[in-house]
Structure 1
Amino acid sequence: MRFKEGDKVEFIDQGELKQGVVTEIEETNHSIFYQIDYIRNMEITWITEDKLLSPAPVLKVPRFADDWISHCKQREYDLACLLDYEDSDMSAEMNDWLSSEDSNQELLMRAWLDGYEVEKEPLYYVKLIDQATGYLNVRNDGRRSMSNSVQNEIFKTKFTESEIKAMDKGEVYWLLREPVDEVEGEA
């Protein structure tokens, strides 16, 4: 059995590639049948295992690569212009990323051709003092205070690197950062 309940799968139906989710599995002596719930059409069908495909993984690119791809598409650049970092208005961050590894050039091309998702930026707390109520909190109106690390509609406590560095005293706050997942993992 290659798939389990909840797996996303693809299959060809009447010459069209469709996507769905495995909702039920039935085994017989000779075959395995999967009940597939179509994601878009809200229909259900039964398909044998040999007719199902694992969907290709979605490429993930950094935010600045997404910005560059959007910039190039808005100006109707072609693929050659996308990679022409010698003679363009590409950001230094994008240029450094492309120059750092050959595989980044291929990743950018595949993202341009096949589609992509933007990598989720890591989030950080700013811990001002070493106690439970020692975290930086920023209210909706921009006022800052110190309290616990719980984020809600009023207080923001989780920040990206760029958000921290853009704050007044951001370089100091950056030194006091703690990754969100490390702190939440301790709880």
Structure 2
Amino acid sequence: MDDCTKVLVYGSFDGFARSTDSSLLISVVLDGGEKVEIPEEFIVSADQMVNKYKIKLKDVIARIEKFDLATKAVWINEILNELGSEYGAFKYKAGYEQGKFDGAMEHEKVTIPQFVADYIDFKKTYDFQVYGAMRAIEDHYDKRVQEWFYKGNIETFARAWLDGYTVEKEPKYTVKFKATKQYLSNDEIGLHFDPSFRSNFTKSDLEKLGLSWVFDCEGMEVEKVGK
């Protein structure tokens, strides 16, 4: 050990003392029983020390989850920038496999919305790693992915990416134009209203068709199919 190497001294608080120049000293009983007096400015309580080898990914995530949306985005980008590409991918994978997601490997696959599944599939098609996919979420055209990700789903996204997922079953609806009592259909003819045939649409289907407004239109009757 070099002469200038910094060290930590472990012991228990044993009161106060004064030096010859009246500076405040802290009396510390070392684990071996020896008693030393150390200047106050060089003492740090044990509960204020962070052991970098005992930090768990879930603890970091828990802290990030408490931030507002903008702060979360800054933290995620900074972390991914600092880790770098290969290191970031390795640490996410290693942390997951070692149980730092609270035993996620033993859990069932997480359930995610279809639009998140579409995003994951799209990024994997282009050989993204989890760190890159998370970083690129802010620039994705479908802002629902970003809103979902930052709404307490950072860990869920990572688990879905690394261990697979199931997709939420979206309810389906029929759409009827009240004035003509015709139903919205989408078949080989294309999108049209039909007096006898009707198609079932999920909310995502209608949004992709630019028809999300039907849910708020008094002239349209939207009815859920089944339970």
TM-score norm. by structure 1 comes to 0.49
- Select the structure of larger CA radius of gyration: 2
Is the helix fraction higher in 1 or 2? 2
The normalised TM-score by structure 2 is 0.42
